[in-house]
C-alpha cells in the first residue's frame, strides 16, 4: 500500500504527478489557507508532508500527528520547522539547498540595483504622468560599481552575491558571518571578513542573507541602523524578522538611510504601513528564488526527498537525525 502524504500548497502539476507514482497524495491545488487546526486534521494518517516554508511544524502539531515521519520543505530556509521537537518526535526535516543559490543571488543583485538606482520610484513617477522635463538631479542615486558591498551572512547565496559584486562590478566586498570562510573561498569571493560594527559602518550597500533564528531576530534594529552611512542602501532577501521593520521605516523616513530593497517582511504577507508609505523603498513579494527553472528544481528536489526517504530510507537533504 502507498503511504499517504499531504501537499500543503499548490504545486506544479507535473511534480504532483511524480509524487502520485509513489504516494497517495492529498493536495491543495486551490491553494487554500489552512489554520493550524485544519492542517492537523488534514495530517491525520499521513506519513509525510510537503511544505512551502509557511507551514509551522512544532511540538503541538507533532504530538497531534503521531504517524508523521517526514516534512519536506520546498525552500532552503527552514525556520518554520522546530527541528529539535521534530528530532524528539522521530520526524525528519528536509530542505532544498543549492538549486536556488545562483537565482537568489541574481535577485539580490537585481534588488540592490533597483534600490540604489531608484528604478521603482522613477517608474512610479513616469507612469503617474509626472515626467514633464529632464533635470540634472532627477532620480540621481548611488553607484554600485566601485562601492563597498557589505554582506551579512556568508553562506552559498552570500558567496554568489560576493562573486557577482567583485568580478562583475569591481566592488569592494566585506562580510560578517557566524564563522569565517576558509582562505580559498575568501579569495574566490574577493571578500574580507570584518566585525559586525565595521561591516555596518563601511557599507555603501548592505545585503542581508543570513538564516532566521531566535539569535538573528532583529539583527538589524535601530542601534545597527544608526551605525550606517545616511547614503547607504539596505537589501533584505533573507527572512522577515531579521530586520526590525518599524525601526527601518523610521530610519528611512528620517534620512538616516538612503533606501531599502525588501523581499521579505515581518508578518508577511502583511507589510508594515510605515514601509508602504515611503518613496525610497523597493518592495517585492518574497520572489528571490522565483525563476521558472529554479522553482521547478526546488519542487522536484522536495519531491525527491520524500521519494528517496520512502524508497531508500535516506533523504537527500536531511536537516536532523530523528530519535
Ligand atoms: C521560497 C525561500 O521560495 O528557499 C527559501 O528559503 O525563502 C524561497 O526560496 C519560499 O520560502 C517559499 O517556499
Structurally, what CATH architecture does the domain formed by 101-283 represent? Answer: 3-Layer(aba) Sandwich (3.40)
Whole-angstrom distance, CA of residue 265 vs CA of residue 234: 13
Instruction: Check if 239 is active-site.
Output: yes
| Cβ–ligand 1 contact at 77 (below 6 Å) | yes
Q: What does DSSP assign to residue 128? A: T
Which residues of the chain fall below pLDDT 50? none
C-alpha cell at 115: 534600490
Helix H or strand E segment including 192? strand 191-193
255, 230 Cβ separation under 8 angstroms: yes
Domain span(s) for CATH 3.40.50.720 in the chain:
4-98+292-312, 101-283
List CB contacts of 3: < 8 A, sequence separation 6 or more.
23, 24, 47, 48, 310
Whose Cα sits closest to atom 10 in ligand 1? 75
Q: Report the side by side order of strands in the sheet with 4-7.
A: 24-26, 4-7, 48-51, 70-73, 92-94
Q: Which of 163, 217, 218, 286 does the annotation list as catalytic?
A: 286
How many angstroms separate the alpha carbon of residue 74 from the centre of ligand 1? Answer: 7
Structurally, what CATH architecture does the domain formed by 4-98+292-312 represent? Answer: 3-Layer(aba) Sandwich (3.40)
Instruction: Map grid coordinates 497517495 to a residue.
Output: 24
pTM for the model stands at: 0.97
DSSP β-bridge partners for residue 81: 57
**Sign of dihedral through CA atoms 124, 129, 130, 136?**
positive
Whole-angstrom distance, CA of residue 271 vs CA of residue 285: 10
Pocket-testing residue among 156, 262, 269, 289, ligand 1, by greatest number of atoms within 8 A of Cβ? 289
How many angstroms separate the alpha carbon of residue 290 from the centre of ligand 1? Answer: 9
How many angstroms separate the alpha carbon of residue 25 from the centre of ligand 1? Answer: 22
Instruction: Check if 286 is active-site.
Output: yes
Q: Which of 24, 26, 102, 268 does the annotation list as catalytic?
A: 268
Nearest to 222 by CA among 267, 198, 254: 254
**3-class state of residue 239 by DSSP:** coil
What's the mean pLDDT when you consider all of the chain?
98
| Cβ–ligand 1 contact at 234 (below 6 Å) | no
Q: Please provide the distance, in angstroms rounded to a whole number, between the alpha carbons at the two ends of the chain.
A: 25
pLDDT at 290: 98
DSSP β-bridge partners for residue 290: none
Backbone angles phi, psi at 50, to 5 degrees: -105, 115
Shortest-distance atom of ligand 1 to CA 288:
9
How many angstroms separate the alpha carbon of residue 243 from the centre of ligand 1? Answer: 17
pLDDT at 323: 81
Neighbours of 197 (CB within 10 A): 11
Whole-angstrom distance, CA of residue 4 vs CA of residue 67: 10
Amino acid at each position: 500500500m502507498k503511504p499517504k502524504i499531504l501537499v500543503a500548497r499548490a504545486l506544479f502539476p507535473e511534480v504532483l504527478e511524480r509524487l502520485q507514482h509513489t504516494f497517495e497524495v492529498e493536495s491543495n491545488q486551490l491553494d487554500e489557507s489552512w489554520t493550524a487546526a485544519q492542517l492537523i486534521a488534514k495530517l491525520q494518517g499521513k506519513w509525510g508532508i510537503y511544505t512551502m516554508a509557511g507551514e509551522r511544524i512544532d511540538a503541538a502539531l507533532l504530538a497531534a500527528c503521531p504517524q508523521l515521519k517526514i516534512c519536506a520543505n520546498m525552500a532552503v530556509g527552514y525556520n518554520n520547522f522546530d527541528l529539535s521537537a521534530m528530532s524528539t518526535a522521530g520526524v525528519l526535516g528536509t530542505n532544498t539547498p543549492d538549486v536556488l543559490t545562483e537565482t537568489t543571488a541574481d535577485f539580490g543583485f537585481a534588488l540592490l540595483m533597483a534600490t540604489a538606482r531608484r528604478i521603482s520610484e522613477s517608474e512610479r513617477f513616469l507612469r503617474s504622468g509626472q515626467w514633464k522635463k529632464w533635470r540634472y538631479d532627477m532620480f540621481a542615486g548611488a553607484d554600485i560599481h566601485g562601492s563597498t558591498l557589505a554582506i551579512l551572512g556568508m553562506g552559498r547565496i552570500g558567496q554568489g552575491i560576493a562573486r557577482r559584486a567583485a568580478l562583475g562590478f569591481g566592488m569592494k566586498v566585506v562580510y560578517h558571518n557566524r564563522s569565517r570562510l576558509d582562505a580559498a573561498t575568501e579569495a574566490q569571493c574577493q571578500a574580507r571578513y570584518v566585525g559586525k560594527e565595521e561591516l555596518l559602518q563601511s557599507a555603501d550597500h548592505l545585503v542581508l542573507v543570513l538564516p532566521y533564528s531566535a539569535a538573528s531576530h532583529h539583527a538589524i534594529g535601530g542601534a545597527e541602523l544608526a551605525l550606517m552611512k545616511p547614503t547607504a542602501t539596505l537589501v533584505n532577501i533573507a527572512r522577515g524578522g531579521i530586520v526590525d521593520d518599524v525601526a527601518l521605516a523610521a530610519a528611512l523616513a528620517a534620512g538616516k538611510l538612503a533606501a531599502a530593497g525588501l523581499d521579505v517582511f515581518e508578518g508577511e504577507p502583511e507589510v508594515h504601513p510605515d514601509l508602504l508609505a515611503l518613496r525610497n523603498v523597493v518592495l517585492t513579494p518574497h520572489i528571490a528564488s522565483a525563476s521558472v527553472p529554479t522553482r521547478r528544481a526546488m519542487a522536484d528536489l522536495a519531491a525527491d526527498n520524500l521519494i528517496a526517504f520512502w524508497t531508500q530510507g535516506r533523504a537527500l537533504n536531511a536537516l536532523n537525525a530523528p530519535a
